[in-house]
Each structure stands twice: as structure tokens, then as C-alpha cells.
Structure 1
Amino acid sequence: MKSIDLRHRLAAVLLAVCLVVCCTLPAFATSANIVLGRLGSLHVRLYDTHNDVPLRGGELTLYQVATVKRTNGNLYFDYTGDFAGCGVVLGDLSDSTLADQLVKYLPVVPAIAAQQDVNEEGYADITKLPQGLYLVVQTEASHGYEAIKPFLVSIPMPDGDNWIYDVDATPKVGATIPETPDIPDTPDVPVTPPDTPDTPDTPDFPEQPDTPDTPVSPDSPDNPVSPGNPDNPVSPENPDNPVSPSNPDKPVLPQTGQLNWPVPVLACSGVLLFAAGWVLNRQGKKEN
């Protein structure tokens, strides 16, 4: 019983080791039918199946990630200089995340394996490609569409016991971009305004005629002082000028130049004299 359990455990360990080796080494089919060194080609078609139209325009760029090598009858991928040391394990090549990981390791100026424009039918054909693993990136999007996601393709590609050297690929296209309506060009504004029409000449005004002579004011007839009373002198004489015309027969006393100021002075003096006499009279009565 112990020997049987030991053999089962040993078999399990060997199987685990084989799985680890297969996962750590870049996976590639092992076949003696491959012709190493034979050039291949890649034919990519960009087609919108939803709208049933090909994608026109754009550009595809290929970067060689690894070359194909064979050791002891086993084929494997060997990273090129641009991707050496990236640490990405090349397992299932259909995994889209592998391409995204490798894009991050692209240097600023990577070595380009090939570039090809997409024609009006949506095709891009790249020929004379050395065997290896390629990263395909759409560096210029097609008209009206977003760029496709990067993908990996192997040249040649295993097909059972055979190898396909001319590989066809139909990746999923990106989302459409709504077209922006063209804005009409703004008409050019003239730098200078059109010529202003000439101002018509001002017609000549006739010369101002001479002002006729103003007739001299006719002489005024002699104006008497009072036309209504031609015989009335300015100040009629008053013969025998009485002082009071209303009483011509009663004479008036002539003015003598009499003044009124002595009256209050004399009155005050009398009061003072009366007061002095009254005081003196009182004093005399007291002495008696």
C-alpha cells in the first residue's frame, strides 16, 4: 500500500512540474512540418458587420514582439530587443489583455516591422514578414471610427499538424464617431470699404443783389410842446403869486426862524429849581 501511495504522489509531482514548465516557457506548437525561415504575410480586413460597410482609411503598424526558435524539436518564442525583460508570459495568444500589456512596454521610438494603409475596401495587406509574434496597432483610425484595439498574431499560425504562413485577421472594429457637419466658410471681409461716390459739386449761388437805398426819413413837422394846446406855455405865469392860491385874499404870516429846543430845557430847569427850593425849605424847618 505504501509503495502504491508513493508512486501516486510521484506521478502528481511530475505532472505539476510539467505544467509549470509549460506555463513558464512561451507556448508554441511543436511540429517537424514547420519550415523555419519561410516568410509569411498578414491580411487584415476592417469591416463593420453591424452596418455592413468596410472601414475606409487609416493605418496599421506592426511591431515584432518575438522571433520563432526551435530547441530539441520544441518551438518557442524569443522576445526581441524592444520587449526583452517585459516579464509578460506568452500563454493564450487570444487573450486581449496580453496585447494591452505589451503596448505599455513599447519604447518611445520602437522598431517598426511594417506599416500599411487601409484601402477603400477595408483591407491592409502586409507581405514578406519573418516568422514571429507581432503586435498590431492601428496608429491612424479609419474615417468615422475609433481605432481598433491592439491584437497579437503569430506567423506562421498552427492549424492542426500544418502551418499557415499567410494569415487572415478580422479584428473587432471600434465604435463609430458621429460626423460633425461642415461649417461654411466665413466670407472674406474686404479690407477697405468700397469707394465712396464723389460728393456732387455745390451749385453756385447767385450773387446777393445790392440792398436798395433806404429812403431818408421825411422831415417831421415842427412838434409843439403840446399839440393839443398849441397856445399853452410850459409854465403859465402866476401874476401876483399868492402863498395860498385857495385863499388869495388872506395873507400868511412870514416865517421868523423860531426854534423848539429851548422848551424842554427850560422845563427841566424849572423842575430842578423847584426841587432845590423844596429841599432847602425842609432843612430850614428842621433847624428851627
Structure 2
Amino acid sequence: MGSGCNRLEMLQLQQKVRKKMKGRKIRIRQGVKGWLLALAMVLSLCSGWKQDVCAQQSQSSSSNLMQDVDTDKKGSIEILFDTMRDEPVANAEFTLYQVAAMVDRGGYTVLELTGGFEGCGVQLKNLTAQQSKEASAALLEYQRANHISGDTKRTDANGKISWTGLQTGLYLLVPGQMQKYRTDPSLVSIPTNLNAQLLYDMSVNPKAERIPDPVYPPEESEEPSTPEVKKPPKKTETIVTPGITPEQKAPEKLPQTGQLRWPILALSTVGAGLLFLGWWIGRKKKDCSKALMGLGILLAAGAVGISAYNIWDSSRAEAAVEASLEAYEEELAAVEQESEALPVDENSGMTFVEADGLCWIGELEIPSLQLTLPVADPWSYPSLKKAPCRYTGSAEENSLIIAAHNYKRHFGNIGLLPEGATVKFTAVSGDVYEYEVEKVETLNPYAVDEMLSGDWDLTLFTCTYGGRKRVTVRCSLVG
């Protein structure tokens, strides 16, 4: 009995000891957690204080740099335009636009939009590289929509251009249209903070990306076998668009410079077939015969109507080009007599005169076709109804491309020009350029880059008889 009591007392004592030890462990854990929490709060406060100090130092440094800008000091921008292999690209066009000016506001310099960009709404402060690229694209779109003018220059033989005497501010550098290369627009700041120094003379080195040869949709047949009007080839993903990102539009089609002729043959052929079929069936089924013959007559009438319109349109075009030529020659004679300074087009760099509601850059002669035609600039479909137009390029730069309708009095017979035939272009300035035909080729209507490629001094093009392709005459300067 005594031993049983001793065991019970021992068990009770062990339980008390365990409870005390458990309580101590809980208190120790709670104490450790409290100390860890306090330590974390201290570290957090120290870190926050450090970040505040760094931020204040950064803001102070940035503020000091902005305060150091001399808004009265002039700067410059020099471009070196070369390829990925460091080969300079000569005669490349670039235009410089001042987007914003740096203005002193009580000892602190701020950017203010200027030069016609005041309403663009583009954020220009603290831009990342990607944001700068997006801002350049937005500013370029705004410039084109509002026809803002800039300072255009071309690279020299070493691929260099420079602009001097520039005010402090932000500038948009835009490349012009090039046949073989492309590059993106960019923003240039004067001054620019480089390694805590303000540079007022900036050097920019945009790289020229080679435009790859495009792949075009399958060509369609010249004459359709049915009277159905086929849709033009769709612009699919198989078209390789040189120098264009997925966000941009696919290349445009070459101008449609032909009369609607192919339906004439189709409608007349099907109409004649229906008339014959109606006559054949009419021996047994007169009702069906009348329907077929009526449909055949309608199709034949449609062919006659299109033919009549084309004849009238050709006569109108002949009268229009004669009137334009006369007006151009009269205006040019008046300007020469009065010794007036001729205006220069900022896009083509060619002089022009205004007459008959259009601007004219010169006169084209093709002796073997007995053609003398004025050349308008820029091209548009209403202008092409009157006379040939400059599509792109310049006679002075040996890159002139002229488009015209395939009216007989315009470029309807240029596909018949033999190799070595003479072509002359007399500019408004009086300069005479004599060319000879090197070759005649037929291009796909989507071959915009192929039309622009090659070192041809003069190119003439128009639509084929069916209007689906482009007859292209390539010429070289004589002498």
C-alpha cells in the first residue's frame, strides 16, 4: 500500500514538472518572437531612412543638373549614317524637327513643346528607351497629320550630316524615303546628360538596315475566263514587307493607271455565247430561249457601254493633256520673261510652276512615239487624269520615276519602245536630261520596292492593257 502511494506521488510530481517546463518554453518562444519582431521593425525603419536619403540625394543631383543647363548656349547634332558593316550611306535624306525647347523658369529648366507640336499631347519626361521609341512614332504621326515643316538635309559621301547653331531642347530626327535602306525616327536632346556631364554637341549614329527583296502573291491571269469580276490579290502574311513592323501597314499597291478594258472581252464573249445558246434552244423551248437571249443582250450591251466610256475617256484625256501642256508653256514663258525666282518643292528638290490648277516640274518628250507631255507633281488620281505625274525621285539626283495612264496620248504605247530609243526631260529650270531606253519589263502591281530598286536614271510606268500589271520602261542618262 505504501509503495502504491509513493508511485502516485511520483507521477503527480512528474506532471507538475512537465507543466512548468512547458510554460517556460512557451514564454521563451514568445520572447524570441517579440525580439525578432522588434529587430525587423528597426531594420525596416533604417532601410526606409536610407531610401529617403538616397532619393533626396538623387533629386538634388538631378535638380543641380537641370539648374546647370545654359538655355542661351547653342548646340549641334551630327549624324553618321552607315550600315551594320560600318559602310557609309551617301545621299540619304533626314529631316530635323524641334519638338520642345528648354526654358528657364526661375533658375530651374523645364521642357516646353514648340515648333507646331504644342497640341501633340505626347509625354516627353523621363522616357525609357522603349517609351522614347513610342514617343518618336507618335510625334512623327502628329507631324504628318499637321504638315509641320522641318530642316531637311542629305548625307555626304561619308554618310554625314550636321546641324549647327541649335537651341537647347528636344529634337525629332526623321529619315526620308530610301530605296535600299531603312532606319527608325529618334529623339535627340540638347544638352544630354552623359556621366553627370551636359553635352551640347551631339553625335548620332543610326544604323542603316538593308531592305530585303519582297515576296508577292501569285500573279493572276491577264484575261479572265468568266465575266465575274475578280477581287485584287489579298495582302496575306506571305508578303515580306521591307522595313515594316507588324504594327504598321503593309506596302501600298502601285498606282492604278489603266482603263477598265478586260471586262469588254469577257462580257462580249459570254454575251455572244448566251445569244447562240438561246437561238439553239429556241427551236424547242422558246421561254428559256428568250431568257438566255435577253441575258446575252444585256452582257453585250455592258461591253458596248464600257467601250464607249473608254473611247470618251481617251478623248477627254487627250484634250486635257493638250490644255495642260499649253497652260504650262504659257506660264513658264511668263515666268522667264519676268525673271521671277522659281519656287522649289521641299520633297523632290525640283523647281516648279503652277498652271491649270497643278504644279509642273518639266516636260517629257518621246520622239519615237511623237509624244510631248507636261509632268505634274505630286501624283494623285485626279492629276493622272490630266497628265503624267512624278511618282518619286528627282531628275537632278538621277532617280526620277514618272507614272501615267495607259491612254494612247499618255503612256499607252511605251511598251513598244525599242532598246536605245531616246527620251528627253526638260526641267522647269531649263536643264535638259537626255536618256536612252535600256529595257522594258512588266511588274506585279504590288512590286513597290522592285519599282524603286536599281540604279536607273529614269523610269516610266503605266498599266498593261488589262490593267493588272505595270509596263515599266527603264532608262539611263546619255553622256
The alignment's TM-score, normalised by the length of structure 2, stands at 0.31
More helix by share: 2
Higher RCO (C-alpha under 8 Å, 6+ residues apart) = 1
The structure with the larger Rg is 1
